[in-house]
Structure 1
């Protein structure tokens, strides 16, 4: 072993350039691999900290609508938890939970906006979030209790200047829950970062269910979790739970079938259960739990594999080239009695030293680049969640696997060569060097695919962001006001109306970014269509520059709160043949009169088709006024911002001011596409860098092999440019083959991806040409310097060298 290690170090130092290229390439690849591994292991292990987590399930259901469309959902009536627990013996515990969408909480006259959840006593018996203070078995015995997390307790401590245990028994209030205080009865550790349920406080349902904001469907507004007594009862429990839920909703199902919302089939409402550990990466709908897209993680895995493949193929290509150049020396060793295992050991020790150096450098780079991973994935890699034994096992396994594969390939190739010649002088490889050509083609095929994909994703993203929305979002400030009282909203509106820098303003319940309200509209033929509902005021249409196609706008002097304005899409459903003004329609069973039709506009992102829409005039400044849109003069931007800040301090000094420039906020809806364009672009850059390093090393090997040929050509009158063309032409040919292979693959992937968008750009020919030009340019830059040096060399020196 000692001699093998000594020989390995001597060989590495002897071939410094190849060693440096291999280490740099492997360092870059190992950094990418380790970053992706840390992120993926974290994402695939969400909710794994709960004791007996394999016994915990969440209720979901599938709906089949009248038009045949199927949709999954998870929101149910919170009272189901009590019924399921009482009726099903296999269910040990059951609880409902729902978020309250960041309500304002008052402590010692300080207003805080926190992530509050509503739940039931069994929550503390199902989930094993660590309780720091309080009695887990007695929590929520009273309906006016609140359990807070350590982070919220720290905020309270800063306000009250006390020890954390002194907070127990103190009271907090919610502005939206009048005449009711909540007593702090427990303090929990913050939910672990890998928990899909994240909260800063928990309160019972009784006083808060209809007072704090919620998401809802026809069937309720809560998630329902249950825990079974034994894992082997999972299937039986699921069947009994599903039957209980169907029985509970029988009347509601018949009602929605009679209104032609749901299909008149026995399977129009089918409950099912999801294991807790599968909730985070499941594509089923979740309103109150964190989720991630499982497909995006698979894509990242593939990207990591490809980058590692490029680095490994480079390493194999360079080591093979070096090995075949020294085939005579190794053949002498084999003739003198060295067996294949001895040659393998020689290669193994040399390869593992290079790989270890690269992975150590990769570990250092991984630590430094963790913030970059957060930007790309929008999810931080938390060092405290890393499973050290598992990480070390992955590291050791990967290093050994890479070393074994590369060493075996070298031995196999060498044995094949050894059979052809035991000891030979001169050339030891033919000019075509087939394996190297294949490696280069594969690497540049991948590079062209990644470059073309990044261009295509950027093109689609820009197409969506630049598409005409049908309304004006420029010079508009989106001001969040749902945490203000009705009186404060009215006062704010009065101040805004008197300020000359703001030309118009409007209040609405939606800002096209967060949340949505849906309802069923019924036409005269008793047909139903699902439509978006926006509650607005009479300034809404003018502030957003919407166009009235038929009828008129809402009138402030004669408000009719049963009147409605619809978009063209909904108008065509109500009456495809023409005029619909003054017709009466039913929206969720309530009769409303149509007074106007507006143009179709993109209230959702341009990833989705425009849906039927109804604008409903709100009756007050209460819960239907969650956002204010302020249209300001272009030259008064700075003054308007200062006015908003000053006015807010007058109207609501103790409440958080949250405003955004609306066009920037709407553009942020395409962050996912922009993020993937960055990931693919960075992957393309890394693949190109590693490929270029390999090509650089291969160029040196090939040119050194052809030094005698170059000298003879120059003696016979060949010019420098002809030599340069000859050497570069071979590499360009490989890239050209790679381009031919990459184009159809890229087209297929891009086409499949674009099918996810309602409005999409075309796949232009120039995407592939540009990707090919970029790759050819990089390849030429990589090989041309060495080719030029070889072409300019004095032929006498070349022949003497040979």
Structure 2
């Protein structure tokens, strides 16, 4: 019986190839999107699950400061005093690109971590070369990943080879490990021994027991015993911090499985995902699938008149309602199965597009996993059954006598149902169009917002870490460049807007705050074209004694004037605040401009060379920079970035969000158009006699088209009314992520409605034109 039903269903599908092709194509595209999104979500939610004991590994955090920056000495204190900790390791990332030399060859490595021996045990790393039980033989040992080893040494075993790190440390390769998994939020190409003080890259200046000292900031990962409750353990430790007190105000734990998507701490220095985007993508996948199902139902019901005759004949020969019901369900499952197969081909073919949209590759081979295959089979059955239920109920209940006599008519309930489906489809489409317009408007707003300094024609060169005997090269480069008129201003700094790695406590009573600091020279103000709004400019002898603050700093501390105002750093006498500069954007517009301090320090280790280039002189200026760099620093690769490019990069996440919304909005509209096309065909077939009578009585073609399109315009209007408040709420919520945001203008909603209406009318107008231009004699004879 099942075999007969399958054969009969296939025959029915092939009998009307046009509708079958439209159904399968729309289904396949929709399912391919759902599969691509599902593969991406599987990858994102699998982050940091690869270590052997991933469920028991946590990162130590300071809950009071919401910080992952913990002094390295806290690790041993925890292991010695709390048996709940089975193991722990140190991890610190070098945030600046680093230069290494192998013989006469120079290389730049941007992914470097300083770790201890226990790191390799906690994170289940696999060694290709070296001794896993003693990865670092001494403090000058280094470990490479497989890909970096091939880049530096080819296919030969690099054990025992030497590399010169930043022209100062001669390191010996003692191990090569496999590359970190693609779903790891922690990764590096070069791993250094954290026992070496030269590789304690990050520190801050704090006062412990009223004595100034350095705080070496690491990420501490710990393996907690089985069945240990994190909350109970943290309460136990916090009840009596003891020797931990100088390093942690209040201990907390962040499971490593939560790091990628749920890490809001300061200083994590690990890769982070976008949980909001994942939720959005999951919702879009679900909505797209619903639209595809709705589209199938509408197109199937649109064929009702054509299929009524076959259904009536089957009933006349004894087919029961349940037999016909099963037939239509099998038919929809077959369509669903074919669509799923085609969707896999589409995912493979469109994988470059999806990779561009998601910002990371999708791994199609995951579809071959047994569990995933079983899920796909279940989805085929579920989607097929859901898609077929409504048509099966409608088409299987028709009275055979009415069908054969052609007196079967569509009830109001069926009409309302189909109209409701169309309204739903276009409600979703309008919401997506509004969302896309708002996101694009916000991106344009933040990119064109005045950052407080002139970023045009301003370039930043990264100065490498130079050994003592080569420090003068930086000033030599500056002196050479100043000989050229197209370099208008040149300033050396440690830190720049967009990359400030140094902060110090203010030391001001009742409002102590960790303040980001830029270490700058005297040319900084003119190079960045900042304005001094209060106070005085620099004078001779000010170096190392004074600082300037921004307006947010001045307002935050409720200053009325600058008299006797000091910024207390680790120096006992502090720095005199001599001026207030205008607020300028030194981080993204997601955050309000916060207090900032400009410290003028002499003979500092500068890592950034900022150059303002004259307009229309960019090619000559860049050529000169490259030539002078090669002449003075040939052993170091030139790295630079324009500040306007930096502003663009700050909003990559939003641009990807806009790209995602745009792609799926187009797909949702396309699927909705398939549905409305089916309904247009259905409507014109239902009103064939009416159209013929109107034409015989002198109705013009445009009047017939207007009559047929009027109903569709009404549905779009209803969808628009429903979509506007939903889109307003969603986008208003999204804009709250920005400290500086655009307005939800009325024209955005109006434009979205007009776009949806225009697309809908273009879709149905051709079918309406065909119906309106048909010979009325044929129409009446057909009826």
Class of the TM-score when normalised by the shorter of the 2 chains: over 0.9
CA shift for structure 1 position 337? 3.5
What is aligned with 1:728?
709
Matched, 1:391 2:391: no
CA shift for structure 1 position 491? 1.7
TM-score by length of 2: 0.93
What is aligned with 1:551?
535
Matches within 5 A, 1:759-778: 759-778=740-759
Cα shift readout 1:406-439 (whole Å, capped 9, x = no counterpart):
2222233345555996865234314771111011
Q: Cα gap change, 1:211/1:275 in structure 2, threshold over 3 Å: closer, same or farther? A: closer
Q: Cα gap change, 1:192/1:38 in structure 2, threshold over 3 Å: closer, same or farther? A: same
Between the aligned partners of 1:155 and 1:767, the Cα distance in structure 2 is 51
Cα shift readout 1:150-192 (whole Å, capped 9, x = no counterpart):
112112324xxxx532x2122223227x4x4322111111111
Cα shift readout 1:375-403 (whole Å, capped 9, x = no counterpart):
22222224566662233223222211110
Unaligned regions of 5+ residues in structure 2, if any?
208-214
Between the aligned partners of 1:688 and 1:301, the Cα distance in structure 2 is 18
Between the aligned partners of 2:398 and 2:499, the Cα distance in structure 1 is 66
Q: Cα gap change, 1:245/1:702 in structure 2, threshold over 3 Å: closer, same or farther? A: farther
Matches within 5 A, 1:622-641: 622=605, 625-641=606-622
Q: CA RMSD in A?
A: 2.5
CA shift for structure 1 position 132? 0.8
CA shift for structure 1 position 131? 0.7
Matched, 1:121 2:117: yes
Between the aligned partners of 1:354 and 1:680, the Cα distance in structure 2 is 28
Cα shift readout 1:206-262 (whole Å, capped 9, x = no counterpart):
224566456899975111111234x22354884488449933332467xxxxxxxxx
Indicate conservation of the 8 Å contact 1:91/1:237, yes or no.
no
Indicate conservation of the 8 Å contact 1:340/1:411, yes or no.
no
Indicate conservation of the 8 Å contact 1:238/1:272, yes or no.
no
Matched, 1:173 2:193: no
CA shift for structure 1 position 482? 3.7
Pick from 540, 544, 548 the counterpart of residue 561 of structure 1: 544
What is aligned with 1:258?
none
Matched, 1:782 2:763: yes
CA shift for structure 1 position 92? 2.1
Between the aligned partners of 2:14 and 2:326, the Cα distance in structure 1 is 18
**Equivalent position SS for 2:303:** helix
Q: Cα gap change, 1:421/1:87 in structure 2, threshold over 3 Å: closer, same or farther? A: farther
CA shift for structure 1 position 607? 2.6
Between the aligned partners of 2:198 and 2:499, the Cα distance in structure 1 is 21
Between the aligned partners of 1:376 and 1:241, the Cα distance in structure 2 is 46
Matches within 5 A, 1:667-678: 667-678=648-659
Pick from 186, 209, 217 the counterpart of residue 221 of structure 1: 217
Between the aligned partners of 2:507 and 2:368, the Cα distance in structure 1 is 56
Pick from 279, 286, 291 the counterpart of residue 259 of structure 2: 279
Between the aligned partners of 2:350 and 2:670, the Cα distance in structure 1 is 18
Between the aligned partners of 1:366 and 1:685, the Cα distance in structure 2 is 17
Between the aligned partners of 2:74 and 2:179, the Cα distance in structure 1 is 28
Pick from 428, 436, 441 the counterpart of residue 446 of structure 1: 428
Pick from 96, 99, 106 the counterpart of residue 104 of structure 1: 99
What is aligned with 2:296?
315
What is aligned with 2:210?
none
**Equivalent position SS for 1:320:** helix
**Equivalent position SS for 2:710:** helix
Q: Cα gap change, 1:398/1:588 in structure 2, threshold over 3 Å: closer, same or farther? A: farther
Q: Cα gap change, 1:90/1:548 in structure 2, threshold over 3 Å: closer, same or farther? A: closer
CA shift for structure 1 position 138? 2.1
Matched, 1:193 2:174: no
Cα shift readout 1:536-585 (whole Å, capped 9, x = no counterpart):
11111101111112233334x534211111122222344543x3156334
Matched, 1:750 2:731: yes
Cα shift readout 1:609-659 (whole Å, capped 9, x = no counterpart):
12122111022241xx22111111112110111111111111221222111
Matches within 5 A, 1:679-690: 679-690=660-671
Pick from 464, 468, 479 the counterpart of residue 461 of structure 2: 479
Q: Cα gap change, 1:427/1:338 in structure 2, threshold over 3 Å: closer, same or farther? A: closer
Between the aligned partners of 1:46 and 1:500, the Cα distance in structure 2 is 52
**Equivalent position SS for 2:515:** strand
Between the aligned partners of 2:69 and 2:138, the Cα distance in structure 1 is 25
Matched, 1:295 2:295: no
Indicate conservation of the 8 Å contact 1:91/1:227, yes or no.
yes
CA shift for structure 1 position 496? 1.4
CA shift for structure 1 position 461? 1.1
What is aligned with 1:583?
565
Matched, 1:90 2:73: no
Q: Cα gap change, 1:416/1:12 in structure 2, threshold over 3 Å: closer, same or farther? A: closer
**Equivalent position SS for 1:96:** strand
Indicate conservation of the 8 Å contact 1:541/1:553, yes or no.
no
Matched, 1:513 2:498: yes
What is aligned with 1:333?
314
Matches within 5 A, 1:398-409: 398-409=379-390
**Equivalent position SS for 1:538:** coil
Indicate conservation of the 8 Å contact 1:168/1:184, yes or no.
yes
What is aligned with 1:259?
none
Matched, 1:182 2:171: yes
TM-score by length of 1: 0.90
CA shift for structure 1 position 747? 0.8
Matched, 1:152 2:148: yes
Cα shift readout 1:685-743 (whole Å, capped 9, x = no counterpart):
11111111121122112111110111112222222222111100011111010011011
Indicate conservation of the 8 Å contact 1:31/1:365, yes or no.
yes
Unaligned regions of 5+ residues in structure 1, if any?
64-70, 254-268
What is aligned with 1:78?
72
Indicate conservation of the 8 Å contact 2:367/2:373, yes or no.
no
Between the aligned partners of 1:690 and 1:389, the Cα distance in structure 2 is 31
